């Protein structure tokens, strides 16, 4: 069985005085695609941010590759091979697509994709290589945001709502990319509101409600959980 790459135990997190995560438990094996489902405000994005150390007030345990990172700064967590693609994408709008790709540092020991590999995976970015971030479509910006973390050599990818607001053809392309990454041994934690996009990709599902994990099941058990998902998500 593949090793456990990410292990979260009894994770609590706060934004100021607001207690957002309550004893979150989650595990992800190497090479898996795991999807966090839940309504807006359930705590899914906060969970990704807590993994990355982007929330100052957190307690519990977050282990990445056997290293407890709960007291690590975000840059130390990234150097363990973690790539985070936030919902707001965060590309540099004044730089060209190619300059955005050339900017990220390589992680020590990471097997970073070179630019040609990126362009083979995202042909649209090759066509728009000289275009500034402000001139890219929403779909192209999202492709660039995902591609940029692949340039670092990260092998554990935290992807937050990457399909949101995009045309169906772009969503389909992003699904193909995740399948290719999985075939190459990448590990993916996917936060998604778009159940139709997430369902075919995931090996396992976690359902969050009010900052707690309320259900976890394998892909094979998905049909038997559809009524529960309809109740929680309206799918």
Work out the pLDDT band at 134, boundaries 50, 70, 90. Answer: confident
Q: What is the pLDDT of residue 162?
A: 92
Q: How far apart are CA 22 and CA 43, in angstroms?
A: 9
Q: What is the pLDDT of residue 105?
A: 78
Q: What is the pLDDT of residue 219?
A: 92
Residue 3 has pLDDT above 70, yes or no: yes
For the segment 98-121, the average pLDDT, to the nearest whole number, is 84
User: Which of the pair, 89 or 35, is modelled with greater confidence?
Assistant: 35
8 A C-beta contact, residue 112 and residue 155: no
For the segment 190-196, the average pLDDT, to the nearest whole number, is 90
Work out the pLDDT band at 110, boundaries 50, 70, 90. Answer: low
For the segment 60-85, the average pLDDT, to the nearest whole number, is 94
Q: Which of 103-107, 119-123, 153-157, 170-174 has the lowest mean pLDDT?
A: 103-107
For the segment 6-26, the average pLDDT, to the nearest whole number, is 95
Work out the pLDDT band at 235, boundaries 50, 70, 90. Answer: low
Residue 108 has pLDDT above 80, yes or no: no
pTM to 2 decimal places: 0.94
For the segment 4-24, the average pLDDT, to the nearest whole number, is 95
- Read off φ and ψ for residue 50, nearest 5 degrees: -70, -40
For the chain, list the domains and their CATH numbers.
Answer: 4-233 (3.40.50.300)
Half-sphere exposure of residue 129, counting CA atoms within 13 Å on the CB side?
A: 11
In this predicted model, what pLDDT tens digit does every residue of 43-72 receive, in sequence order? 999 999 999 999 989 999 999 999 999 999
- Dig out the tokens for 41 from the structure: 């405000």
Average pLDDT, the chain: 91
Residue 228 has pLDDT above 90, yes or no: no
Q: What is the pLDDT of residue 69?
A: 96
Q: How far apart are CA 16 and CA 13, in angstroms?
A: 9
Q: What is the pLDDT of residue 13?
A: 96
63 beta partners:
7, 68
Annotate the chain with three-state secondary structure: CCCEEEEEEEEEEEECCEEEEEEEEEEEECCCEEEEECCCCCCHHHHHHHHCCCCCEEEEEEEECCEECCCCCHHHHHCCCEEEECCCCCCCCCCEHHHHHHCCCCCCCCCCCCHHHHHHHCHHHHHCCCCEHHHCCHHHHHHHHHHHHHCCCCCEEEEECCCCCCCHHHHHHHHHHHHHHHHCCCEEEEECCCHHHHCCCCCEEEEEECCEEEEEEEHHHCHHHHHHHHHHHCC
Q: In what order do the strands lie in the sheet with 187-191?
A: 82-85, 156-160, 187-191, 33-37, 204-209, 212-218
Closest CA to 142 of 196, 197, 79, 187: 197
Residue 141 has pLDDT above 60, yes or no: yes
Q: What is the pLDDT of residue 88?
A: 83
Q: What is the pLDDT of residue 4?
A: 93
């Amino acid at each position: 069985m593949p090793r456990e790459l990410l292990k979260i135990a009894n994770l609590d997190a706060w934004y100021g005085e607001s207690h957002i995560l309550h004893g979150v438990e989650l595990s992800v094996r190497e090479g898996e695609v795991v999807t966090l489902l839940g309504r807006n405000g359930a705590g899914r994005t906060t969970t990704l941010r807590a993994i990355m150390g982007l929330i100052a007030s957190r307690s519990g345990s977050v282990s990445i590759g056997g290293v407890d990172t709960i007291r690590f700064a975000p840059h130390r967590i990234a150097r363990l091979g973690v790539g985070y693609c936030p919902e707001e994408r965060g590309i540099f709008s004044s730089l060209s697509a190619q300059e955005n790709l050339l900017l990220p540092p390589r992680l020590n020991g990471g097997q970073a994709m070179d630019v040609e590999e990126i362009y083979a995976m995202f042909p649209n970015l090759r066509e728009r290589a000289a275009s500034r971030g402000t001139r890219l479509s929403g779909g192209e910006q999202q492709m660039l945001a995902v591609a940029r973390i692949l340039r670092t050599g990260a092998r554990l990818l935290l992807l937050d709502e990457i399909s949101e607001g995009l045309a169906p053809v772009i969503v389909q392309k992003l699904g193909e990319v995740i399948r290719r990454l999985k075939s190459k041994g990448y590990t993916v934690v996917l936060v998604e509101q778009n159940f139709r996009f997430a369902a075919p990709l995931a090996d396992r599902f976690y359902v969050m409600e009010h900052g707690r994990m309320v259900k976890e099941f394998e892909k094979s058990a998905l049909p038997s959980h559809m009524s529960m998902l309809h109740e929680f998500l309206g799918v």
